[in-house]
Amino acid sequence: MRFAISTDGDQVAAHFGRCESYTLVDIEDGKVTQQERIPNPGHQPGFLPGYLAERGVGCIVAGGMGPRAQGLFGQQGIQTIVGVSGGIQETVEALCRGELEGGESMCEH
């Protein structure tokens, strides 16, 4: 599965749409097969779900995301995990182990 992690520096960004970039990670059988960082093309309501779906993303990981955006991702068949914080590498390792847990969204929408 391809994951898109909202990224600021080396940390999971608090807001998926306003992050500086996305770390795209392909994970198969608990191992990373590909990882790259792409710049955020800009925050426009309704744009990012289609943009990331075109890149094969099946799940987005972020600190926060509003309910409307979560619904738009769902319409594209993309799962969302919000309430995640910490380093990108630790997040990728938790994804590989199948142990990443979300929580409350960190942004207020």
pLDDT in tens, 2-43: 999 999 999 999 989 899 999 999 999 999 999 999 999 987
Strand partners, 28: 31
Q: Which residues pair with 8 in a beta bridge?
A: 11
Count Cα neighbours of 27 within 13 Å in the Cβ-side half-sphere.
18
Q: How confident is the model at residue 105 (pLDDT cuts 50, 70, 90)?
A: confident
Residue located via tokens 């792409």: 38
Using CA of residue 56, residue 106, residue 99, residue 71, what is the dihedral sign? negative
Average pLDDT of the chain to the nearest whole number: 93
Average pLDDT, integer, range 58-82: 94
| Predicted model pTM | 0.94
Domains in the chain, please, with CATH? 2-45+58-97 (3.30.420.130)
Nearest to 64 by CA among 12, 14, 10, 7: 14
pLDDT attached to residue 108: 58
